[in-house]
Amino acid sequence: MSLVINSTGSFPLTIGLHPLAVLSISDFYTRAHLSRTLLIGGLLGKQTGRDLSIEQAYEFRIRDDQIDEEYFERKLEQYKTNFRDHDFLGWFYVPLEAPFEPTAAVLPIQTRLTELLDSPPLLLILNAPAVAGAAAGSLPIKIYEPVVVEGGRTAFVEAAHRIESGEAEHIAVLHVADEGKTDAAAGDKVSSLLASKASAATMLLQRLRLVRAYLEHARAKPERALTAADDEIVRAVGALLGRLGSAVGNLDELALAQQVDALLAALLGVVTRGLKLSSDVGAKRQVLDALRDDYKRYR
C-alpha cells in the first residue's frame, strides 16, 4: 500500500541534488538489477533550515534485512571527519520492481534510522531509467519527506528537487551528457571552458596594469598638479583593493581549494568511465544469458 500523501504544509523543502550523488546512486541501480539484490544507502550534504543540498551518497551494509548499525555509525563518523560541514540528510533505495514509491516495506528502516539519528531522514527512490509518462530529460528520481499523520502513522510527501553543480562537477556532467560521443568532443568542451577563463584572467591582468600605470603617473605628479578627479580615482582604487583583499583572504587556502576541485574533476571522470564500462558489461551479460537460454532450449 502506498504511503504517499499530498503536501499539507506551507513551507516546502527546497532540495539541491549534486551530480556526484546522482552518479553514485545510478551505479547502485546497475548493481541492484544485475544482481537482483536490494541495495540501500545514505545521503550526506548540508542543511540550512528548509534548504537542503545532497552532495554525497554511500552504501549501507545489510544483515538479515536490517542495517548493520556498527558499520553505519563508523562510516558516518568517517564522512563527518572528512566533511565537517556535512550532515546525514536521508537514505535511498533502488526498488527491484513496482511500485516505485514508499510502501510499508520501507517503514522498518525508516523507523530505525529515525531512532538512530533522533530525526526523520528523507527518502530518495531511484526508478527505472525510462519511466512511462516522465518528462523528457528528467531524472528518474523522487525524494520524499516523512511526516506524521493522524494516528501517529508515518506517511511521505513528495518534495521537489533541482540539480546543482559546482565548476568541477560541471566538467564531469559534460562527460555524462556526451557519453555517446568521443572523448575528443568532451575534451573540446573542457578546453573551451578553460580558454574562456584564461581570456578573462588576461583581461583582468591588462586592467590591473592600466591602473598601476595610472597610479605611478599620479604619484610622479607634484601635489599641486593633482585634481579633484585624481583624488576621487585614487580613493576608488583604494576601496577596491580593500574589497579584493577581504574577498581573496588566504591565498594558500584558495590555491588548495582549486587543487581539490581539479582532483575532484579527475575523480568524477574516472567514476563516469567506470559507470559506462559497468553498463556495457551488463548489456553484454544479458546478451550472453539470452544466447545460453536459447542454446539450452533447442539443444
- The predicted model gives 148-168 an average pLDDT of 81
- Max CA distance (Å), the chain: 106
Q: Give the residue among 22, 63, 5 at the shortest CA–CA distance from 169.
A: 22
Q: Are 100 and 203 contained in the same domain?
A: no
Residue 9 has pLDDT above 80, yes or no: no
Residue 182 has pLDDT above 50, yes or no: no
Q: Are 17 and 136 contained in the same domain?
A: yes
Q: What is the pLDDT of residues 260-283, one digit of tens each?
A: 777 777 787 777 777 778 777 877
Per-residue cell: 236? 576608488
Residue 131: what are its φ and ψ, rounded to 5°?
-110, 130
Q: Are 117 and 247 contained in the same domain?
A: no
pLDDT at 273 (0 to 100): 77
Q: What is the pLDDT of residues 43-59, one digit of tens each?
A: 999 988 888 999 888 88
- The predicted model gives 232-247 an average pLDDT of 73
**64 belongs to a structural domain:** yes
For residue 110, the domain's CATH number is 3.40.140.10
**290 belongs to a structural domain:** no
Question: Which residue, of 164, 191, 218, is where some domain finishes?
Answer: 164
- Boundaries of domain holding 11: 4-164
Helical packing angle, 19-35 and 251-298, nearest 10°: 20
Q: Are 160 and 183 contained in the same domain?
A: no
Q: How far is CA 58 from the centre of its chain?
A: 12
Cβ atoms of 102 and 123 closer than 8 Å: yes
Number of Cβ within a 10 Å radius of residue 90: 24
Q: Which amino acid is at 237?
A: V
Spatial strand order in the sheet of 161-163 = 4-5, 154-159, 141-148, 122-126, 87-93, 40-48, 51-59, 14-17, 161-163
Domain count, the chain: 2
Q: Are 120 and 179 contained in the same domain?
A: no
Q: Are 15 and 159 contained in the same domain?
A: yes
Q: Which residues of 201-232 are buried (b: 16+ CB within 10 A; e: fewer)?
A: eeeeeeeeeeeeeeeeebeeeeeeeeeeeeee
Rounded to an integer, what distance in angstroms lies between the CA atom of residue 43 and that of residue 21?
A: 8
For the chain, the average pLDDT equals 77
**263 belongs to a structural domain:** yes
Q: Are 94 and 110 contained in the same domain?
A: yes
Residue 150 has pLDDT above 70, yes or no: yes
Cβ atoms of 149 and 5 closer than 8 Å: yes
Whole-model pTM?
0.55
- The predicted model gives 247-266 an average pLDDT of 69
Q: Are 160 and 33 contained in the same domain?
A: yes
Q: Are 26 and 135 contained in the same domain?
A: yes
